[in-house]
């Protein structure tokens, strides 16, 4: 694929995302509520949300931190069921998923809101907004699958904003998809409690988990959360046997400390597994962190080297099209097995999931 066609393919996905809004627009007055799952009433009559580690306690009319859950008539309700604000067609490599192939694009869907407050968020126009502040659509779960098939998508991806905060909607979509044997993908920061996570796992075919950094300090100051629940999520998904990949966006001076990266990679290799695909992605100035420069390529190369030194077999560098870290190599003989340019696969010589030269199996879901 030449440069012109590559750029054209990337633009095409963006155009769909924007033009999709026209087919089912939703007025503010239609932002109705439905009862949420995973909450309890406190001794003093407030609601406590049990969906994520924020554990928001709210009185009548107050919103949870995510901006999409509210106490009404003594109950906790969700304001985003069937109300996405982003719909797009994307290659699964954008998630990023490099070891999970499908026949075509994924229909990506997202709602407003987030339970974290990352200072660099690329999709802050949606994630840091309440549903009434975003241009929402009306699309019930049964219609999501219809739209996916209408646009010749081969899977549904819960992407762009944090799907955890739209748990009820995601659960219902994934249930419909499971009945139809239609693959689903969850792209998540992993900031979710164990009970709701375990309820979702049987319905999701592949996970991309964003491990934002390797210290509680970074999570507290830049992400607006804590690290331990994310590690719990990774451990639980790994134990489930579902396919998952991990991505870390490296920010200059904030989470690119070499010692912290090595500590994180040791944890990955010993606790999670050396065959877990790991992506280090390049930061570009966004949202509240425009003062920072883009991540130097050398930083991503150093992180990749550390991960491989600690034993990880499949380590990638993202947001650097054409870099050697975009490709998949055989961990035994070193042969280039999958060549990529950005989110496009240029060549794949895997044979039934194995290296054609030394027959080493490459873990993943391969066509």
pTM above 0.85, yes or no: yes
Burial 243-252 (b: 16+ CB within 10 A, else e): bbbbbbbbbe
9 to 3, 237, 318, 342, 345: CA distances (angstroms)? 10, 32, 18, 11, 12
The reply to whether 64 and 213 lie within a common domain is: no
Question: Residue 9's pLDDT is what?
Answer: 40
pLDDT tens digits, residue range 123-149? 999 999 999 999 999 999 999 999 999
Q: Which parts of the chain fold into alpha helices (H)?
A: 3-19, 124-127, 141-150, 167-179, 194-200, 216-218, 228-240, 258-267, 297-309
- pLDDT tier at 340, thresholds 50, 70, 90: very high
Euclidean distance between CA atoms 105 and 154, whole angstroms: 6
- Rounded to the nearest 5°, which phi and psi values hold at 261? -65, -45
Find, among 15, 30, 189, 26, the residue nearest to 114 by Cα: 189
CA atoms of 44 and 62, how far apart (whole Å): 15
Residue 183 and residue 54 share a domain: no
Q: Residues 253-271: pLDDT tens digits?
A: 999 999 999 999 999 999 9
Mean pLDDT for the stretch of residues 294-321: 97
Name the band, by pLDDT with cuts 50, 70 and 90, for residue 10. very low
Smallest CA-to-CA distance from 264 within 295, 296, 309 is with 309
Helices 258-267 and 297-309 sit at what angle, rounded to 10 degrees? Answer: 40
Query: What is the mean pLDDT of the segment spanning 271-284?
Result: 98
Q: How many domains, the chain?
A: 2
CA-to-CA separations, 276 to 16, 18, 95, 293, 338, in angstroms, rounded: 32, 34, 15, 29, 16
Q: Supply the CATH number for residue 166's domain.
A: 3.20.20.70
| Domain assignment of residue 362, yes or no | no
pLDDT exceeds cutoff 90 at 346? yes
pLDDT digits (tens, 9 = 90+) for 74-121: 999 999 999 999 999 999 999 999 999 999 999 999 999 999 999 999
Residues 173, 212 share a domain: yes
Is residue 89 located within the same domain as residue 46?
Answer: no
Same domain, residue pair 318 and 225: yes
- What domain range is 143 assigned to? 81-326
Find tokens 């491989």 and name the residue: 308
For 16-33, what is each residue's pLDDT tens digit?
Answer: 443 334 334 444 445 579
């Amino acid at each position: 694929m030449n440069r012109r066609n590559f750029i054209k393919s990337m633009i095409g996905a963006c155009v769909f995302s924007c033009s999709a809004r026209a087919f089912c627009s939703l007025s503010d007055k239609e932002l109705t509520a439905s009862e949420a799952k995973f909450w309890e009433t406190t001794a003093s009559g407030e609601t406590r949300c049990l969906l994520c580690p924020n554990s928001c306690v709210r009185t009548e009319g107050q919103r949870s931190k995510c901006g999409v859950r509210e106490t009404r008539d003594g109950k906790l309700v969700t304001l985003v069921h069937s109300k996405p604000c982003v719909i797009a067609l994307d290659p699964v490599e954008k998630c990023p998923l490099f070891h999970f192939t499908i026949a075509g694009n994924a229909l990506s869907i997202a709602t407003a809101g987030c339970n974290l407050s990352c200072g660099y968020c690329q999709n802050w126009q949606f994630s840091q907004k309440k549903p009434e502040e975003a241009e929402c659509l009306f699309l019930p779960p049964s219609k999501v699958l219809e739209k996916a098939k209408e646009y010749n998508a081969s899977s549904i991806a819960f992407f762009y904003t944090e799907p955890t905060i739209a748990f009820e909607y995601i659960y219902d979509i994934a249930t419909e998809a499971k009945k139809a044997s239609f693959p689903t993908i969850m792209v998540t920061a992993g900031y979710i409690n164990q009970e709701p996570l375990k309820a979702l796992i049987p319905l999701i075919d592949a996970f991309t988990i964003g491990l934002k950094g390797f210290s509680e300090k970074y999570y507290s100051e830049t992400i607006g959360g804590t690290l331990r629940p994310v590690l719990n999520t990774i451990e639980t998904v790994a134990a489930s046997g579902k396919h998952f990949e991990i991505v870390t966006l490296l920010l200059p001076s904030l989470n690119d400390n070499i010692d912290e990266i090595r500590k994180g990679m040791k944890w990955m290799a010993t606790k999670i597994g050396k065959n877990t695909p790991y992506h280090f992605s390049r930061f570009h100035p966004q949202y509240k962190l425009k003062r920072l420069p883009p991540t130097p390529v050398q930083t991503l190369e150093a992180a990749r080297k550390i991960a491989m030194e600690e034993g990880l077999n499949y380590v990638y560098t993202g947001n650097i099209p054409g870099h050697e870290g975009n490709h998949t190599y055989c961990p035994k003989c070193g042969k280039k097995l999958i060549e990529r340019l950005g989110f496009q696969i240029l060549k794949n010589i895997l044979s039934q999931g194995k290296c054609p030269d030394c027959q080493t199996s490459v873990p993943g879901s391969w066509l």
